């Protein structure tokens, strides 16, 4: 086990290193092909004084000669960048000159709150639907759940988000406020945008929307796992002992179906992050996702790279944890 | 001296996996409906002239924002958009870039994934090491994020005249981050089938590596890959739309469903819901059809489920 953990961690570090290098190389290529982003500092259109440009280039670490040779991997700036990351210096934004590390400190908690609701939605809904479908296998309910999951698969988070924000939210909010009043829970929960005055209430609906990412995959995984367990020997024994059906479902079936659920969440984490980019961007939640969304639109390469690096670190970390949890949840799995 | 006679091929057709799958799928009503929807969409992409006689680029400012009060009849069956262009024509002509983009992405990424997957699975060793590490790296960045990265780093405002220039950049970005799933499935299938008897027999007879890979292993490996193709096409169409809403996908004045959606969001709140709802409905219908078809195909190609 110990040897496996070390090997898995080293592998994760290698992957992470390659991802970071790839991100850096893409940025270097973009500077080499498209020209210097430091000109953006002066508003893009004007041609600034050469000395001033050199000053700004130095400020953003773009003064290395390698940025003028197309295809050069720019290893020296890459090493510098890694060094800066380790010391906690993530650079500043081109627009407003704010410290990126400080911004992350504000944004990450908001995204985490979003993910709490998203994960809750995902787990609860897919558990209920999957268990339900498995228990009524082959019957009408099973087919209905199956059709619903295909529909959920084909109407992805992004379309649900747009239809909600631009079609449903406003009439719904107006209706709810007419009955319960503006300041009540119901009056705020359906808002089409985030409101910092109600930081928890107005994040519920976006959380639910992000949670629909992968609902279909999870439901299917859970249905399959439960069918396997329902037909197994230990469930038959439990039935023969005369245990109540509820107890069999919870203790013998659901607990043994935890493995696919963990795998699923680990696998879906990356997709939930990209769902969060759009959801936070459109609904105005000040989180990591909106940071990337706005950085893309304002062409702030550094912010995009930092955002993607953070997401890569999280994804790699989550996948390591998932692998280690396997052994904890299922005594049959042993890493030598 | 006895003579060996070659066995005469029997006239009776053998039941292959593919013909079985076709027969299973033909019987399901949901598959038939999905196929009809897809045929409609493909016809729209190939022959937009069949559905509308208007030109989406002739816009009359006087007729701007006419609501579709005369449903499906009259001059503007779906009304006009904010600049007075016929909306039905815009919608129909927006189909071609969307479909072409999705198909080119799927073809290139499936081919890339197949070849890399077969090489990784067949040769093993350091070839497999490099390709698997590449897989790990690209899987960390989801398709939408990767495409956002590429398109925002290399964005240039080019005025695109023809279809190719319109879709080239998003196609490239989506392909770069879309091949991993195909590669993984192919690699697994190759690992499974490379030690089967008939492959070993072919090797003993002196077949070259390339012949074994593409004549003997590929027909097996292509089955799980085919099963995920329709669903992936749906995913690509949606990702294109998401990129368009971010403003980095297909660039206006060229149209695609995504561009129409992102324009429609501006007007939906102001009471012109149809400008948003029509592309949305078309998109959902198409993606749902692809998903239904893919789901049925996956079941039909899985012999264990028979």
Residue of A nearest to B141 (CA): A312
Mean pLDDT, to the nearest integer, of A87-97? 74
Q: Please say whether the beta carbons of A262 and A221 come within 8 A.
A: no
DSSP 8-state assignment for residue A139? S
Q: Do A22 and B137 touch (CB under 8 A)?
A: yes
Q: Do A34 and B154 touch (CB under 8 A)?
A: yes
Tokens of B299: 């079941």
pLDDT given at position B160 = 58
CA gap A45, A203 in Å, rounded:
39
Name residues whose C-beta falls within 8 Å of residue B25's C-beta, 6 or more positions apart in sequence: B31, B296, B297, B300
Comparing A37-46, A300-309, B204-213, B291-300, the range with the smallest average pLDDT is: A37-46
Residue that the structure tokens 């690992």 belong to: B191
pLDDT given at position A36 = 67
pLDDT band at B66; cut points 50, 70, 90: low
User: What is chain B written as a DSSP string?
Assistant: ---PPPPPPPSSPP--HHHHHHHHHHT-HHHHHHHHHHHHHHHHHH-GGGT--S-TT---GGGTT----STT-SS-TT-B-TTS-BHHHHHHHHHHHHHHHHHHHHHHHHHHHHHHHHHHHHH-HHHHHHHHHHHHHHHHS-HHHHHHHHHHHT-------SHHHHHHHHHHHHHHTTSHHHHHHHHHHHHHHTTSHHHHHHHHTT--HHHIIIIIIHHHHHHHHHHHHHHHHHHHHHHHHHHHHHT-SSPTTS--HHHHHHHHHHHHTTT-THHHHHHHHHHHHHHHHHHHHHHHHHHHT-GGG-
CA gap A24, B305 in Å, rounded:
46
DSSP 8-state assignment for residue A255? G
CA gap A296, A292 in Å, rounded:
6
pLDDT given at position B255 = 79
Q: Please say whether the beta carbons of B223 and B117 come within 8 A.
A: no
- % of chain B residues with pLDDT over 90: 6
- Among A267-281, B184-198, B291-305, top mean pLDDT goes to B184-198
| A291-301 as b/e: b if 16+ CB within 10 A | bbbbbbeebbb
Instruction: Give the model confidence (pLDDT) of B255-295 as tens digits.
Output: 788 888 888 877 776 667 777 888 888 888 888 888 888 88
Mean pLDDT, to the nearest integer, of A228-243? 86
Whether chain B has a CB inside 8 Å of the CB on A13: the answer is no
CA gap B301, B306 in Å, rounded:
9
Q: Find residues 309-328 of chain A whose CB sits inside 8 Å of chain B.
A: 311-312, 315-316
pLDDT band at B77; cut points 50, 70, 90: low
pLDDT band at B246; cut points 50, 70, 90: confident
| Mean pLDDT, rounded, of chain A | 80
Q: Please say whether the beta carbons of B187 and B123 come within 8 A.
A: no
CA gap A191, B232 in Å, rounded:
33
Q: Which residues partner with A99 through β-bridges? A: A92
Name residues whose C-beta falls within 8 Å of residue B36's C-beta, 6 or more positions apart in sequence: none
Q: Tell me the chain A residues in contact with residue B145 when contact means C-beta distances shorter than 8 Å.
A: 270, 273-274, 277, 292, 308, 311
Decide: residue B65, CB within 10 A, 0-12 exposed, 13-18 middle, 19+ buried.
middle
pLDDT given at position A335 = 61
Tokens of A200: 């928890």
pLDDT at residue A96 greater than cutoff 80? no
Tokens of B137: 């790296």
Whether chain B has a CB inside 8 Å of the CB on A277: the answer is yes
Q: Tell me the chain A residues in contact with residue B274 when contact means C-beta distances shorter than 8 Å.
A: none
Instruction: Give the model confidence (pLDDT) of B126-144 as tens digits.
Output: 888 899 888 888 888 888 8
pLDDT at residue B16 greater than cutoff 90? no
Residue that the structure tokens 């239809």 belong to: A163
pLDDT given at position B104 = 92
pLDDT band at B82; cut points 50, 70, 90: low
CA gap A122, A325 in Å, rounded:
19
Selecting from B145, B154, B287 the residue whose C-beta is nearest the C-beta of A274 gives B145
Q: Which ranges of A136-214 would DSSP assign to H, the alpha helix? A: 140-154, 157-163, 169-180, 185-189, 204-211
Comparing A54-68, A88-102, A230-244, the range with the smallest average pLDDT is: A54-68
pLDDT given at position B1 = 44
Residues of B with CB under 8 A from a CB of A: 133, 136-137, 139-145, 148-156, 231, 234-235, 238, 241-242, 245-248, 261, 265, 268-269, 273, 276-277, 280, 283-284, 287-288, 290-292, 295
Query: Which of residues A60 and A123 earns the better pLDDT score?
Result: A123
Query: Which of residues A156 and B21 earns the better pLDDT score?
Result: B21
CA gap A313, A260 in Å, rounded:
23
Instruction: Give the model confidence (pLDDT) of A106-133 as tens digits.
Output: 888 888 888 889 989 888 988 888 888 8
Residue B238 Rama label (left phi>0; alpha psi -120 to 50; beta): alpha
CA gap B106, B121 in Å, rounded:
21
pLDDT given at position A141 = 80
CB pairs under 8 A between A and B: 122
Complex ipTM tops 0.90: no
Comparing A88-102, A131-145, A211-225, B53-67, the range with the smallest average pLDDT is: B53-67
Residue of B nearest to A301 (CA): B153
Q: Do A278 and B246 touch (CB under 8 A)?
A: yes
The pTM of the full predicted model, rounded to 2 decimals, is 0.82
HEC sequence for A85-118: HHCCCCCECCCCCCEHHHHHHHHHHHHHHHHHHH
Selecting from A19, A170, A301 the residue whose C-beta is nearest the C-beta of B137 gives A19
Mean pLDDT, to the nearest integer, of B209-229? 84
Distance between A293 CA and the closest CA of chain B, angstroms: 7
pLDDT at residue A46 greater than cutoff 70? no
| Mean pLDDT, rounded, of chain B | 80
Comparing A161-170, A182-191, A236-245, B186-195, the range with the smallest average pLDDT is: A182-191
pLDDT given at position B105 = 92
Selecting from B277, B283, B295 the residue whose C-beta is nearest the C-beta of A150 gives B295
Query: Which of residues B298 and B8 earns the better pLDDT score?
Result: B298
CA gap B70, B76 in Å, rounded:
8
pLDDT at residue A264 greater than cutoff 60? yes
User: What is A5-51 written as a DSSP string?
Assistant: HHHHHHHHHHHHHHHHHHHHHHHHHHHHHH--GGGGGGTSSS---HH
Q: Do B145 and A277 touch (CB under 8 A)?
A: yes
Test mutation, B132, B137, B181, B260, chain A, max A CBs within 10 A: B137
Test mutation, B31, B131, B134, B153, chain A, max A CBs within 10 A: B153
- How far is Cα of residue A319 from the mean position of the Cα atoms in its chain? 13
CA gap A168, A109 in Å, rounded:
28
CA gap B123, B126 in Å, rounded:
8
CA gap B208, B199 in Å, rounded:
11
pLDDT given at position A262 = 79
Comparing A60-64, A315-319, B20-24, the range with the smallest average pLDDT is: A60-64
pLDDT band at A173; cut points 50, 70, 90: confident
- How far is Cα of residue B272 from the mean position of the Cα atoms in its chain? 31
Mean pLDDT, to the nearest integer, of A61-70? 71
pLDDT given at position B106 = 93
Distance between A312 CA and the closest CA of chain B, angstroms: 6
Q: Tell me the chain A residues in contact with residue B277 when contact means C-beta distances shorter than 8 Å.
A: 167
């Amino acid at each position: 086990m110990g040897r496996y953990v070390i090997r898995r961690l080293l592998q994760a570090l290698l992957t992470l290193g390659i991802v970071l290098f790839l991100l850096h190389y893409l940025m270097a290529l973009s500077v080499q092909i498209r020209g210097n982003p430091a000109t953006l500092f002066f508003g893009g259109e004007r041609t600034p004084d050469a000395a001033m440009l050199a000053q700004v280039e130095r400020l953003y670490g773009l003064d290395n000669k390698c940025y003028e040779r197309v295809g050069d991997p720019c290893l020296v700036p890459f090493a510098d960048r890694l060094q800066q990351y380790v010391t906690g210096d993530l650079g500043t934004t081109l627009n407003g000159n704010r410290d990126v590390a400080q911004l992350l400190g504000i944004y990450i908690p908001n995204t985490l709150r979003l993910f709490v609701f998203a994960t809750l939605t995902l787990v609860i809904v897919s558990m209920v639907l999957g268990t339900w479908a498995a228990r009524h296998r082959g019957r009408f309910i099973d087919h209905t759940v199956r059709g619903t999951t295909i529909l959920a698969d084909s109407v992805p988070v992004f379309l649900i988000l747009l239809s909600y924000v631009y079609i449903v939210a406003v009439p719904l909010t107006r209706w709810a406020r007419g009955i319960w009043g503006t300041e009540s829970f119901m009056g705020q929960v359906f808002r089409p945008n985030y409101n910092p005055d109600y930081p928890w209430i107005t994040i519920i609906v976006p959380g639910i929307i992000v949670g629909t990412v992968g609902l279909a995959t999870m439901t299917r995984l859970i249905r399959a796992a439960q069918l396997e367990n329902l037909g197994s020997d230990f469930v038959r024994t439990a039935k023969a002992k005369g245990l109540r059906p509820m107890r069999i479902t919870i203790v013998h079936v659901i607990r043994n179906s935890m493995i696919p659920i963990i795998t699923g969440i680990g696998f879906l984490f990356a997709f939930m992050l990209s769902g969060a980019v759009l959801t936070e961007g459109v609904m105005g939640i000040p989180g990591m996702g909106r940071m990337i969304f706005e950085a893309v639109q304002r062409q702030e390469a550094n912010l995009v790279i930092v955002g993607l690096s953070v997401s890569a670190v999280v994804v790699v970390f989550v996948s390591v944890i998932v692998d280690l949890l396997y052994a904890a949840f299922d005594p049959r799995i042993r890493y030598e | 001296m006895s003579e060996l006679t070659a066995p005469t091929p029997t006239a009776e057709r053998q039941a292959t996996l593919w013909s079985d799958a076709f027969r299973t799928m033909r019987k399901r009503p949901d598959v038939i409906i999905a196929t009809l929807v897809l045929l409609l969409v493909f016809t729209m992409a190939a022959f937009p002239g069949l559905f509308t006689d208007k030109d989406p680029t002739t816009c009359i400012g006087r007729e701007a924002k006419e609501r579709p009060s005369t449903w499906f009849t009259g001059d503007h069956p779906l009304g006009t958009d904010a600049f007075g262009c016929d909306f039905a024509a815009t919608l129909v002509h927006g189909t071609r870039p969307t479909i072409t983009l999705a198909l080119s992405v799927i073809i290139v990424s499936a081919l890339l994934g197949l070849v890399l997957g077969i090489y990784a699975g067949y040769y093993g060793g350091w070839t497999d090491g490099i390709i698997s590490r590449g897989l790990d790296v690209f899987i960390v960045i989801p398709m939408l994020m990767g495409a956002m990265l590429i398109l925002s780093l290399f964005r240039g405002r080019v005025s695109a005249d023809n279809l190719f220039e319109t879709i080239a950049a998003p196609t490239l970005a989506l392909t770069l981050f879309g091949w991993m799933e195909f590669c993984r499935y192919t690699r697994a299938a190759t690992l499974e089938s490379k030690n089967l008897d008939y492959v070993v027999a072919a090797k003993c007879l002196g077949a070259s590596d390339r012949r074994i890979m593409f004549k003997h292993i590929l027909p097996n490996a292509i089955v799980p890959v085919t099963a995920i193709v329709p669903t992936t096409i749906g995913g690509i169409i949606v990702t294109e739309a998401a990129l368009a809403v971010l403003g980095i996908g297909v660039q206006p004045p060229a149209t695609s469903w995504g561009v129409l959606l992102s324009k429609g969001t501006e007007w939906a709140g102001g009471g012109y819901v149809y400008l948003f709802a029509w592309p949305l409905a078309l998109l959902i219908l198409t993606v749902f059809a692809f998903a239904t078809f893919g789901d049925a195909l996956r079941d039909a190609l899985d012999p264990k489920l028979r």
